Amino acid sequence: MLPGRGRRGVYGLELAGEDDAFAAREAACAATGVEVVAPGLATARGVDAERLRSLAYTHRASHLLGHAAASVDAAKALVEAATIARTGSVAVRARDVRGTAGVDTRRAERALGAALVDRGFTVDLDTPDHELRACFADDSCLVGWLVAESVRDYGDRRPTDRPFFQPGSMAPLDARALVNLTGVGPGDRLLDPMCGTGGTLIEAGLIGAHPVGIDAQWKMVHGARENCRAYLDTEPAILRGDATRLPLAVDGEGPEAPRTDGNAVDAVVFDAPYGRQSKIARHSLVDLVGGALTEARRVAPRAVVVGDRSWSEAARAAGWTVETTFERRVHGSLVRHVHLLR
């Protein structure tokens, strides 16, 4: 059971974006037994409500009353038959997820609201004691009580609005997802050995992790420090260094607190440079990424690596197991390959 779950039962997750497999994999850092059941919807056996609030590609979690066919009548029958121990005021919110069910959501809200009034609830659309969510997608409907919503404040940290900006900076929504995919949480140490402008460091710090950044260029080191100061209460360790020769030692000699688990950090995340002709300092791109993967394997037990191509072969050569990969289309000429490594 995850901490903060609070109740036994099955939960419904409202996924964000269009890639349900990617969203479900990120959700697994805040939930157990995640399974996609319809477009934009998943179920889980347990949810850490506090952790879910930090997810990028999950909007909400609800404690399910049940799973019905995608019709207003089926959803109403489910509510009428369910065991409900709650009392007080309620608001009903219905969604036709991605327009895949063809359900009249206003009619659904009225019908489910009437069923709850018949069971002693009062309706309060502004400040209800409880919110019942009915999510229709394809031929399924998940009905449940809202327990957690993710914080959607990524627009406050747009790369172009930061003190230091460079073209090609990753959007904070995606940087948060990558941080979550590493599995780090509050108190864990996350290394980005190609930290650039510091986007992953900011997102890691905001979920309570201890980020460590390294970059080969002093300009990026200074810029990342400036950006982190703008969003984090505590400035992370950001150093100039070579990703293929990390200035980190294992067995208790990391840059901050001593470690006793044989790892300098809990996880590594980095966005490899793009372009087949890239040259970074004295390294070719292949040598740079291969060396960075080898060093990441030395200092951490898991990693998430992104590139404009597959780096799976290089990861295996560096001693990693490729747990899974995702291809994320950014625009017509760029697909990001996301590798989860153990």
**Whether residues 85 and 108 fall in one domain:** yes
In this predicted structure, what is the pLDDT of residue 113? Answer: 98
pLDDT at 331: 82
In a domain, 47, yes or no: yes
Output the pLDDT for position 330. Answer: 87
Confidence (pLDDT) at 254: 42
Quote the mean pLDDT of the chain: 93
- Give residue 277's pLDDT band: very low, low, confident or very high (50, 70, 90): very low
**Does 1 map to a domain?**
no
Q: Does residue 6 fall inside a structural domain?
A: no
Given 3-state DSSP classes, what are the helix, strand and coil percentages for the chain, each rounded to the nearest 5?
A: 30, 30, 40
Task: Mark whether 163 and 135 lie in a shared domain.
Answer: no
- What are the two backbone dihedrals, phi and then psi, of residue 142, each rounded to the nearest 5 degrees? -105, 130
pLDDT class of 257 with cuts at 50, 70, 90: very low
Range of the structural domain that residue 280 is part of: 154-341
Dihedral sign for Cα atoms in the order 44, 50, 54, 60: positive
- Whether residue 166 is found in the same domain as residue 213: yes
Estimate to the nearest angstrom the gap between the alpha carbon of 301 and the chain centroid. Answer: 19
The span from the CA of 304 to the CA of 212, in Å, is: 15
pLDDT of residue 260: 46
311 shares its domain with 194: yes
Question: 306 phi and psi, to 5 degrees?
Answer: -120, 145
Full-prediction pTM beyond 0.85? yes
262 vs 141, more confident: 141
Q: How confident is the model at residue 87 (pLDDT cuts 50, 70, 90)?
A: very high
Give residue 278's pLDDT.
Answer: 47
Say yes or no: 140 and 177 in one domain: no
pLDDT the model gives residue 59: 98
- Summarised one tens digit per residue, pLDDT across range 144-160 is 999 999 999 999 999 99
Count up the domains in the chain and report the number. Answer: 2
Q: What is the pLDDT of residues 298-342, one digit of tens each?
A: 999 999 999 999 999 999 999 999 999 999 998 878 899 999 999
Q: What's the token pair of residue 250?
A: 């294992």
Query: 163 in a domain, yes or no?
Result: yes
Question: Which pair of tokens denotes residue 28?
Answer: 């697994």
The residue among 149, 181, 198 that closes a domain is: 149
At 283-307, the pLDDT tens digits run: 689 999 999 999 999 999 999 999 9
Listed residues 120, 149, 178: the one ending a domain: 149
Same domain? 313 vs 253: yes
Domain contains 118:
yes
The pLDDT value recorded for residue 3 is: 34
- pLDDT by residue (tens digit) across 89-137? 999 999 999 999 999 999 999 999 999 999 999 999 999 999 999 999 9
- 296 and 196 in one domain? yes
Q: Is residue 116 part of a domain?
A: yes
Tokens of 183: 């599995």
- The CATH number of whichever domain residue 173 belongs to comes to 3.40.50.150
Which ranges of 239-331 does DSSP label H, i.e. alpha helix? Answer: 285-299, 312-317
Q: Per-residue pLDDT tens for 172-207? A: 999 999 999 999 999 999 999 999 999 999 999 999
Do 172 and 140 fall within a single domain?
no
Q: Which of 149, 180, 213 is the last residue of a domain?
A: 149
Q: Is the pLDDT of residue 256 over 70?
A: no
Residue 71 maps to which CATH number? Answer: 3.30.2130.30
Whether residues 84 and 186 share a domain: the answer is no
22/93 same-domain check: yes
The answer for residues whose C-beta is within 8 angstroms of residue 219's C-beta and 6 or more apart is none
**Stretch 73-81: mean pLDDT, rounded?**
98
119 in the same domain as 160: no
pLDDT at residue number 270 = 98
Q: DSSP for 233-253, please give it.
A: SSPPEEEE-BTTB-S--SSS-
Whole-number percent of the chain with pLDDT over 90: 88
- Nearest CA-CA partner of 13 in 37, 43, 57: 43
Using DSSP bridges, classify how beta strands 210-215 and 189-192 pair: parallel, antiparallel or unpaired. Answer: parallel
Q: Is residue 58, in this structure, part of any structural domain at all?
A: yes
Is residue 90 within 8 A of residue 114, CB to CB? The reply is: no
pLDDT at 239: 97
pLDDT at position 251 is 61
Inside any domain, residue 307: yes
Same domain, 160 and 130: no
